[in-house]
Amino acid sequence: MAYAKSLKILLALLAGAALAGCGSAVQSAAPSGRTQVRSDHYERFQGRPSPEDLKRYGLPIPGDVQAVEHWKYKSSGAGMDLWVRFEATQAQLDQFLRNLGQSELDMLPGHSPFDSKDEAKLGWDIQSGPDVSGLAIPIPDSDLHGTYRQVAVDRRGDSLVMVYVSSATT
């Protein structure tokens, strides 16, 4: 059991490295009116992911969070990754983590689970330090929503926290 959990965490970290190989970006208007940026199989959108995507990736993002952006990445295999960044109040963060079956006590202080190459590709600026905490959540085999989830919380802002999350499907 511990071996399977360790293997899932390792696979989650390796899957995130797939973003590092993406090429140049082209910007266009998405049919929904949201800004879309393509980088090979990598797309960036302003606004919330669709309810279908949130369900597919098992991301229970509260409906009233602010400044939501998301990215989709299709790897050369069959899987896809969804990356989301949003601003939240403490109550919204607590609700989000609770819906994932986690709490801030489960997070590793001073650590982001995201690779610096992933952050650079996404334009994220998560700096390890006292204001950042993160965790990687392996998903049980019985959960069809994905293979892993990663969460980082950055408290460098004034009143809202910036939440970064990714989920992969097979």
Residue 81 CA to residue 85 CA, distance in Å, equals 14
Helices (H) and strands (E) in the chain, counts: 4, 9
**Residue 76 main-chain phi, psi, to 5 deg:** -70, -20
Structural domain boundaries in the chain: 2-169
Burial of 36 (0-12, 13-18, 19+ CB in 10 A): middle
Contact 84, 69 (CB under 8 A): yes
Condensed to tens digits (0 to 9), the pLDDT of residues 11-61 reads 343 334 333 333 333 333 344 444 444 444 678 899 999 999 998 888 999
Contact 96, 62 (CB under 8 A): yes
Predicted local distance difference test score (pLDDT) of residue 16: 40
148 — pLDDT class (breaks 50, 70, 90): confident
Cβ neighbours around 75 below 10 Å, total: 16
Q: What secondary structure letter does DSSP report for 93?
A: H
Condensed to tens digits (0 to 9), the pLDDT of residues 59-106 reads 999 989 999 999 988 765 667 889 999 999 999 999 999 999 999 999
> What type of residue sits at position 96?
F
Is the pTM higher than 0.85? The answer reads no
Residue 52 structure tokens: 């279908």
Residue 1 CA to residue 27 CA, distance in Å, equals 45
Residue 161 CA to residue 155 CA, distance in Å, equals 5
